[in-house]
């Protein structure tokens, strides 16, 4: 599988869903996703990649969690950063359509900090 890598600076300073700028004052939070076992993103570890989601093929950035990281140990193969609860809900809904089609994701859950 091939994906485009998005520079961390771009990916990690914006909400995955609405592209709003995320600052230190924004109540941003992370959502973790587990991928299908057949999906191998080893080449993209610790990078942000662009994937398309949902019926409208919306492109979003996902951080591929590296081996040995806390998120990975918790079972999250990928992470999304969102600026607010509504964005998180929409993102999860889009990922759930993918889970239903059985292509890429196995599950998605909030990352509890």
Told to check if 18 binds Zn ion by CB under 5 A, we report yes
- Alpha-carbon distance values, 29 to 14, 24, 106 (Å): 11, 11, 20
Nearer to Zn ion, 49 or 83 (CB): 83
Helix/strand/coil for 42: helix
Told to check if 28 binds Zn ion by CB under 5 A, we report no
Residue 96 backbone dihedrals phi, psi, to 5 degrees: -65, -30
Told to check if 91 binds Zn ion by CB under 5 A, we report no
Q: Give the CA angle between residues 34, 101, 37 to the nearest 5°.
A: 35
Nearer to Zn ion, 2 or 56 (CB): 56
Continuous segment of H or E residues that includes residue 109: strand 105-110
Told to check if 46 binds Zn ion by CB under 5 A, we report no
Closest CB 61 distance from Zn ion, rounded Å: 12
Closest CB 84 distance from Zn ion, rounded Å: 5
- Nearest Cα residue to 60 out of 85, 91, 30: 91
Residue from the set 87, 91, 94, 95 that interacts with Zn ion by CB under 5 A: 87
Closest CB 83 distance from Zn ion, rounded Å: 4
**Which stretches of the chain bind Zn ion, using CB under 5 A?**
15, 17-18, 20, 83, 87
């Amino acid at each position: 599988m091939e994906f485009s890598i998005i520079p961390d600076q771009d990916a990690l300073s914006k909400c995955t869903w609405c592209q709003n700028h995320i600052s230190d004052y924004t109540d941003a939070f992370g959502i973790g996703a587990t991928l299908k076992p057949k999906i191998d993103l080893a080449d993209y570890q610790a990078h942000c990649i662009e994937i398309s989601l949902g019926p409208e093929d919306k492109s979003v950035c996902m951080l591929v969690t590296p081996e040995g990281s806390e998120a990975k140990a918790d079972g999250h193969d990928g992470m999304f950063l969102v600026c607010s609860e509504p964005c998180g809900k929409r993102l999860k809904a889009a990922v759930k359509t993918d889970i239903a089609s059985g292509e890429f994701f196995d599950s998605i859950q909030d990352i509890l900090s």
